[in-house]
Structure formats: structure tokens, C-alpha cells
Amino acid sequence: MLWDCDFMFGEQQDSYVLCEINVSSVSPFPPSAVAPLVAAVLARLRG
């Protein structure tokens, strides 16, 4: 999944307002990229 969040400047200094979140489900190419991608995501989630 690809996530894209768009923010706008808020009314106060150094503040932001969430404008939108875009999520796209894509299949990695080539198919051999799936296993390393899954391993990287799991490693990231484990901290």
C-alpha cells in the first residue's frame, strides 16, 4: 500500500491541518520484490 497525506498550514504558528489521505493498493513489480518488501515492513513494525 502507498500512503500519501497532504497537510495545510494551520491558523497558529507551527501548526498543520490534515487535508486528505490517499491510499493506493499496488502490486510490486517484479514479483520477486514481494518477499523483501514484506520482510522490510515486518522489520519496521517490530521496531
pLDDT tens, 8-43?
999 988 999 999 888 776 666 788 888 998 999 999
Our count of domains for the chain comes to: 1
Q: What is the pLDDT of residue 34?
A: 85
**Whole-prediction pTM:** 0.42
Our measurement of the distance from residue 28's CA atom to the centroid of its chain's CA atoms, rounded to an integer in Å, reads 15
Q: What is the pLDDT of residue 46?
A: 95
Question: By residue range, what is the domain housing residue 24?
Answer: 2-46
Q: What is the pLDDT of residue 7?
A: 92
Q: Which residues contact 7 (CB under 8 A, 6 or more apart)?
A: 16, 17, 18, 19
